[in-house]
């Protein structure tokens, strides 16, 4: 049974509909919910994953430092879901939301929780393996979220992010998403990095 009440959905929809949101918007949440629906049978706790999807970018300020957005989003999830879910599930939701800061798989999870975390983090990065047109639209949308950064600063910062992804042995934790997106994601990231460096 969904953990996202009508009141929570309305609050989050308003947050994701802010005019400063170009990629981290309701469209991103809708895309992840569609992936969850397509792969629901693979999850041990799909309702907790749904909650993590809804909350993971709820607080998004492109000027924030470090993992502040992820921490504040996780705090909001805990505040809104307390009393609706048990402490273990709530802890998992908090943990995976905070993990979106680095997309590193959290430790200390049981097998089902770890598998769900891997799939959740992989879904969040699925855009990297999209076709070229969709990936380029994603890149342009992220750039609009950072319109306060000059072109030189953007190129340097974004290139560092892309290099960090490319040096990972695996972009995706699960074999499923690695098979679906890894090669295309590496092509997209390499192409984008070349553009930034040209």
| pLDDT digit string, tens, across residues 133-162 | 999 999 999 999 999 999 999 999 999 999
Read off the pTM: 0.97
* Domain end residue (candidates: 98, 124, 150): 124
13 CB neighbour count, 10 Å cutoff? 12
pLDDT tens-place string over residues 52-75: 999 999 999 999 999 999 999 999
* Domain end residue (candidates: 67, 91, 124): 124
Residue 12 in any domain: the answer is yes
CA-angle at 36, arms to 32 and 37, nearest 5°? 115
Residue 1 in any domain: the answer is no
Whether residues 120 and 133 fall in one domain: no
77-88 b/e (C-beta count within 10 Å ≥ 16 → b): bbebbeeebeee
Whether residues 89 and 113 fall in one domain: yes
Alpha helices in 22-174 (DSSP H): 26-38, 46-55, 68-81, 87-99, 111-124, 132-145, 151-166
Residue 162 in any domain: the answer is yes
Structural domain harbouring 77: 6-124
Instruction: Supply 155's token pair.
Output: 């190129």
């Amino acid at each position: 049974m969904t953990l996202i009440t009508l009141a929570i959905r309305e609050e989050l929809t308003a947050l994701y509909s802010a005019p400063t949101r170009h990629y981290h918007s309701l469209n991103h949440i809708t895309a992840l919910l569609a992936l969850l629906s397509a792969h629901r049978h693979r999850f041990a706790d799909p309702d907790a994953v749904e909650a993590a999807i809804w909350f993971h970018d709820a607080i998004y300020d492109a000027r924030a430092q470090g993992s502040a957005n992820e921490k504040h989003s996780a705090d909001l999830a805990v505040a809104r879901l307390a009393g609706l879910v048990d402490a273990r599930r709530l802890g998992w939701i908090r943990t995976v939301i905070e993990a979106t800061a680095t997309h590193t798989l959290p430790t200390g999870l049981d097998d089902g929780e770890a598998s769900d975390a891997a799939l959740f983090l992989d879904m969040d990065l699925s855009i990297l393996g999209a076709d070229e047109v969709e990936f380029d639209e994603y890149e342009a949308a992220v750039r609009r979220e950072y319109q306060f950064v000059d072109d030189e600063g953007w190129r340097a910062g974004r290139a560092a992010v892309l290099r960090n992804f490319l040096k990972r042995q695996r972009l995706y934790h699960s074999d499923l998403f690695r098979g679906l997106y890894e090669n295309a994601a590496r092509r997209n990231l390499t192409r984008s990095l070349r553009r930034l460096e040209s």
